[in-house]
Amino acid sequence: MTANPIRVTVWNEGRHEQIHEEVRRVYPNGIHTVIADHLKTQGFITRTATFDEPEHGLTEAVLGDTDVLTWWGHMLHKQVDDAIVDRVQRRVLAGMGLIVLHSGHESKIFQRLMGTTCDLKWREADDKERVWVVKPGHPITKGLGPYFEIPSDEMYGEPFDIPEPDELVFISWFEGGEVFRSGCCYKRGNGKIFYFRPGHETYPVYYQKEVMQVITNAVYWAAPNEGASIPKERNYKIPLEPIKPK
Amino acid sequence: MTANPIRVTVWNEGRHEQIHEEVRRVYPNGIHTVIADHLKTQGFITRTATFDEPEHGLTEAVLGDTDVLTWWGHMLHKQVDDAIVDRVQRRVLAGMGLIVLHSGHESKIFQRLMGTTCDLKWREADDKERVWVVKPGHPITKGLGPYFEIPSDEMYGEPFDIPEPDELVFISWFEGGEVFRSGCCYKRGNGKIFYFRPGHETYPVYYQKEVMQVITNAVYWAAPNEGASIPKERNYKIPLEPIKPK
Amino acid sequence: MTANPIRVTVWNEGRHEQIHEEVRRVYPNGIHTVIADHLKTQGFITRTATFDEPEHGLTEAVLGDTDVLTWWGHMLHKQVDDAIVDRVQRRVLAGMGLIVLHSGHESKIFQRLMGTTCDLKWREADDKERVWVVKPGHPITKGLGPYFEIPSDEMYGEPFDIPEPDELVFISWFEGGEVFRSGCCYKRGNGKIFYFRPGHETYPVYYQKEVMQVITNAVYWAAPNEGASIPKERNYKIPLEPIKPK
Amino acid sequence: MTANPIRVTVWNEGRHEQIHEEVRRVYPNGIHTVIADHLKTQGFITRTATFDEPEHGLTEAVLGDTDVLTWWGHMLHKQVDDAIVDRVQRRVLAGMGLIVLHSGHESKIFQRLMGTTCDLKWREADDKERVWVVKPGHPITKGLGPYFEIPSDEMYGEPFDIPEPDELVFISWFEGGEVFRSGCCYKRGNGKIFYFRPGHETYPVYYQKEVMQVITNAVYWAAPNEGASIPKERNYKIPLEPIKPK
């Protein structure tokens, strides 16, 4: 799709790993490291950024050098600086892809781009999750069978307060009796946005082959059409000369 | 929503009941009778029509006197007369509501309006089905809780080969491990179309309170905006006089 | 559609009229007064609210007593209190209808609900505008012919940076050579949102019959399904008891 | 997007050129030849097919060797063999791209995939047409400015009886006072469909640089995700083994 390698920035709140032993056991160097390490093996130019870095690691320079941003957060949603949220939103509308993971559904940036609460039902248990492919020919489902299973995961249930997705690519079935729209595609401005449900800080979901296949597929899907060249921000407020028909 | 009572025609293929004892035991007078009897209690003007009647009971006069048509078929999909399918399609595009039930997903009229195969996975077993409300404020989900259950039903599974619904209002969870988009809203021309999954000829699904609540709600939702006055069919091919700007 | 009269709150920034003589000449008591006076004649319970009132006139009590809110703003978009924007957004997601008029495209509340800049091209000139009906059977176009004309209006042009509308009901043609998506329908949460382009502070657009017909139609369309009873705000974060299949 | 060159089949009714001198003057070897010759210069593997060939030139072998099909027809819509329409539809649902040009809006294949009449208003005159780009970052609008003009063309006007497009990329302005949704994207099954309005048999529209740029862009956009490897046709009716939760 692009001549040059896609440049991915993997953002992680990075706090659970510091304070919760049970999370550190699964992700000793943070969720971002596991995701970024995998994406590097796929040939992407990959960096990470976390909440504790200056400007949350998302400076103008970093975003200007990013084709696709992945977002994982949970505890610190409300503390994320509004100025950084504004900046990320501007970049998405200008063409940067955004992949929102799991508890990122309540992040300011996802709420901002959706216009809704992005609220949902949940249960912390070790439900088996079966993720069904609703769109078998979609680029994001490439390489998957009819479904894949996650042996133990937190449950998310409907209703999920989001705008109707442009394309719904996954629906999850949970052992406890719930369903969830687990893979949702949106376009906002020039940017593509993908929400992907699986993944919890206490389960090794981001080590699972199918989950990483989906994130890899989503990077390709969400990358700007022209690859590295994200269009400049738009400013349409230029009065036009009236033209006369022939 | 309308001053005058909504006029509903309940269409049923009506063949299973004639030849299969196990179906006759559940629906001795046919599925259409059970549905129509219930809709009458809701204040709708209700008639029935079946495959074996002349013109399948869907004459120009009948359709001209119908605000909402419900459709159940299974064995005889391919034998339905194309001329009648054309006629129903024209009426839907002109504003008549259409509610397609269960195995009606493979009917000519639904395939015609969708443009796709409407194919799906299925299994005849006595799966428990849990129907989740994805849109709690939608007119079609009025009066329901977060979900309702059908104790035993045929399973339908994804992928369901339909265009992306305008609004997805129900998703089903099945005991056997599958999910399905069970309530799908579309608009085509002036007509509203609702596909509703539950309902099988060997299970008493159409006697269940919540199922009939949904069909009742869907009749209100699908009725033409002006009630009884369905707009005339459209013919736009009228050359216009070019107008000159001031 | 509803047993009880729909309760409409007409919001106006109300500043142009105070400081610009040319606006005062057209709308001596403000745009809100003209709109509200007309809506009263249609049988709605109508009040007004403006920027200069405490809490911009949009207290919890006022919004709790509002089925549909109309929004006109221009000069003071950035000064609107974020807390009030939050409050309006919550009410829309809970079911209150919102009709955004003309320069309201850049209001915080519209940007918030859309997730995009809502930017567009514009030209202040006296272009003739011809508003075409794209959906002739839609409730919002009831009573209109194939198009209506506004003799002189400000021009808005594409691209308009909004999410793809759920339904596009009007497209405008401008004498100077531009086009614009002038009537856009959205659903967010339980709320319906309608953007309607025509209307400028220096032109008597809100005295025009067809324009007021559209706003009246849009009030009916945007009203909550149950009329006066807007559903309570949602809180889905309730852990569920896992249930076991039979 | 694909390693191998995209294989395009350019279909043309090909009758106007045989019987109308004024058409022959503009397209002496048919519209298909002009389009195909241009697409060859873009590096696509290009063939043509016309109504008068056996099976309209669209044998299983030809379609099996086609990634994207373009369709121009006008006089003979009703005479196109239904069996060939079925075959093309199956290929589109399996993943083949389809680009429908101008008067192809009334072709059986477009009506089949849309489910509507695809009716519109029209006027044969020499209106100037200005085609506005509604989605500046979309792959189909690559390389275009804010708009392009066609000096003289047949007018098409709204309402255009189509399902709401997944993405609307062009809107046309006509000198005579009309507007039209000129570039409409759809997905049906695995296939992508693009309707593109400009182009008439008596105007040299298909020699115009911007028009051919759009068709070239649309070929890239509509090509199956995996390039030459179109997925096999789907048959999902395979009973599943019920699985038991852990």
Per-residue model confidence (pLDDT) at position B226: 64
pTM assigned to the model: 0.95
Q: What is the rounded distance in angstroms from the CA atom of residue A58 to the CA atom of residue A84?
A: 7
Per-residue model confidence (pLDDT) at position D237: 46
CB nearest to C137's CB, from B142, B151, B190:
B190
Inspect the interface and report whether the beta carbons of B164 and A167 lie closer than 8 Å: yes
Q: What is the rounded distance in angstroms from the CA atom of residue D240 to the CA atom of residue B177?
A: 10
Check whether D62 has a pLDDT greater than 50: yes
Q: What is the rounded distance in angstroms from the CA atom of residue A162 to the CA atom of residue A183?
A: 12
Contacts of D181 in chain C (CB under 8 A): 134, 168, 171
Check whether A21 has a pLDDT greater than 50: yes
| CA D132 to chain CA centroid, nearest Å | 19
- What is the signed CA dihedral for A57, A62, A67, A70, rounded to 10 degrees? 0
Per-residue model confidence (pLDDT) at position A123: 87
Check whether B114 has a pLDDT greater than 70: yes
Inspect the interface and report whether the beta carbons of B137 and C175 lie closer than 8 Å: no
Which two tokens mark C73? 């703003």
Most A CBs within 10 Å, among C119, C175, C178, to test the A interface: C119
For chain C, how far is it from start to end, CA to CA, in angstroms? Answer: 42
In angstroms, the Cα distances linking A130 to A123, A149, A184 are 16, 4, 16
Percent of the residues in chain D that have a pLDDT greater than 70, as a whole number: 90
Closest CA to B197 of B123, B119, B107, B105: B105
Class of the C7-116+183-222 domain?
alpha beta
Check whether B120 has a pLDDT greater than 70: yes
- What is the signed CA dihedral for D137, D138, D141, D146, rounded to 10 degrees? -40
Q: B113 or A241: which carries more pLDDT confidence?
A: B113
**What is the CB neighbour count within 10 angstroms for residue B162?**
22
Dump pLDDT digits (tens) for A40-51. Answer: 999 999 999 999
Q: What is the rounded distance in angstroms from the CA atom of residue A222 to the CA atom of residue A192?
A: 5
Which two tokens mark A170? 């996954």
Minimal-distance CA residue of chain D relative to A224? D137
Per-residue model confidence (pLDDT) at position C235: 44
Question: Phi and psi of A240, rounded to 5°?
Answer: -95, 150
Eight-class DSSP state of C242: P
Name residue D172's beta-bridge partners.
D131, D180
Q: What is the rounded distance in angstroms from the CA atom of residue B156 to the CA atom of residue B196?
A: 12
The residue whose two tokens read 């997905």 is D187
**CA dihedral sign, ordered B227, B232, B237, B243:** negative
Per-residue model confidence (pLDDT) at position B210: 97
Q: How far is A158 from chain D (nearest CA, A)?
A: 20
Question: Phi and psi of C84, rounded to 5°?
Answer: -75, -35
Per-residue model confidence (pLDDT) at position D172: 98
Q: How far is A97 from chain C (nearest CA, A)?
A: 14
Q: For residue D123, what pLDDT band results from cuts at 50, 70 and 90?
A: confident
Q: What is the rounded distance in angstroms from the CA atom of residue A153 to the CA atom of residue A122?
A: 11
Q: What is the rounded distance in angstroms from the CA atom of residue C88 to the CA atom of residue C109?
A: 7
Inspect the interface and report whether the beta carbons of C136 and B187 lie closer than 8 Å: no
Q: What is the rounded distance in angstroms from the CA atom of residue C194 to the CA atom of residue D134?
A: 19
CB B174 within 8 A of CB B112: no
C119 touches chain A (CB under 8 A): yes
Inspect the interface and report whether the beta carbons of C246 and B151 lie closer than 8 Å: yes
As a whole number, the mean pLDDT across chain B is: 91
Over residues D86-103, mean pLDDT: 96
As a whole number, the mean pLDDT across chain C is: 91
Over residues A25-38, mean pLDDT: 96
What chains are in contact with D, requiring at least 3 Cβ pairs below 8 Å? A, B, C
Contacts of C119 in chain A (CB under 8 A): 234-237
Q: What is the rounded distance in angstroms from the CA atom of residue D20 to the CA atom of residue D199?
A: 17
Dump pLDDT digits (tens) for A115-169. Answer: 999 999 998 878 899 999 999 989 999 999 999 999 999 999 999 999 999 999 9
Minimal-distance CA residue of chain A relative to D225? A139
Inspect the interface and report whether the beta carbons of D225 and A139 lie closer than 8 Å: yes
Per-residue model confidence (pLDDT) at position A124: 82
Which two tokens mark B100? 């397609």
Dump pLDDT digits (tens) for D126-154. Answer: 889 999 999 998 999 999 999 999 999 99
Closest CA to C48 of C98, C8, C97: C8
For chain A, how far is it from start to end, CA to CA, in angstroms? Answer: 41
**Host H or E run for residue B141:** none
Per-residue model confidence (pLDDT) at position A234: 46
Q: For residue B229, what pLDDT band results from cuts at 50, 70 and 90?
A: very low
Q: Mean pLDDT check: name the lowest of A177-181, C125-129, D62-66.
A: C125-129
Contacts of A235 in chain C (CB under 8 A): 119
Q: How far is D189 from chain C (nearest CA, A)?
A: 20
Over residues C15-27, mean pLDDT: 92
Contacts of D9 (CB under 8 A, 6+ apart): D46, D47, D48, D49, D58, D62, D63, D66, D68, D69, D70
| CA D5 to chain CA centroid, nearest Å | 19
Per-residue model confidence (pLDDT) at position A233: 43
Dump pLDDT digits (tens) for B65-90. Answer: 999 999 999 999 999 999 999 999 99
D231 touches chain B (CB under 8 A): no
Q: What angle do CA A223, A227, A228 make, to 5 degrees?
A: 110
Q: What is the rounded distance in angstroms from the CA atom of residue D202 to the CA atom of residue C75?
A: 50
Per-residue model confidence (pLDDT) at position B246: 52
Q: How far is D122 from chain B (nearest CA, A)?
A: 6
Inspect the interface and report whether the beta carbons of D189 and B112 lie closer than 8 Å: no
As a whole number, the mean pLDDT across chain D is: 91
B130 touches chain D (CB under 8 A): no
C109 touches chain A (CB under 8 A): no
Q: What is the rounded distance in angstroms from the CA atom of residue B154 to the CA atom of residue C225?
A: 33
CB C10 within 8 A of CB C101: no
Over residues B175-194, mean pLDDT: 96
Q: What is the rounded distance in angstroms from the CA atom of residue A101 to the CA atom of residue A199?
A: 7
Class of the D7-112+182-222 domain?
alpha beta
Q: For residue C4, what pLDDT band results from cuts at 50, 70 and 90?
A: confident
Max avg pLDDT among A173-177, B98-102, C17-21: B98-102
Dump pLDDT digits (tens) for D227-242. Answer: 433 444 444 444 445 4
Per-residue model confidence (pLDDT) at position B23: 92
Check whether A17 has a pLDDT greater than 60: yes
Q: May I ask the CATH architecture of the domain A7-116+182-222?
A: 3-Layer(aba) Sandwich (3.40)
Inspect the interface and report whether the beta carbons of C181 and D173 lie closer than 8 Å: no
Per-residue model confidence (pLDDT) at position C226: 64
A136 touches chain D (CB under 8 A): yes
Minimal-distance CA residue of chain C relative to A240? C123
Q: For residue A227, what pLDDT band results from cuts at 50, 70 and 90?
A: very low
C37 touches chain B (CB under 8 A): no
Per-residue model confidence (pLDDT) at position B4: 80
Max avg pLDDT among A71-75, A173-177, A235-239, B126-130: A71-75
Per-residue model confidence (pLDDT) at position B82: 97
What chains are in contact with B, requiring at least 3 Cβ pairs below 8 Å? A, C, D
* Alpha helical stretches, state H, C99-243: 108-114, 209-222
Over residues B34-62, mean pLDDT: 98
Dump pLDDT digits (tens) for D36-49. Answer: 999 999 999 999 99
Closest CA to D116 of B113, B152, A90, A144: B113
Per-residue model confidence (pLDDT) at position B190: 93
As a whole number, the mean pLDDT across chain A is: 91
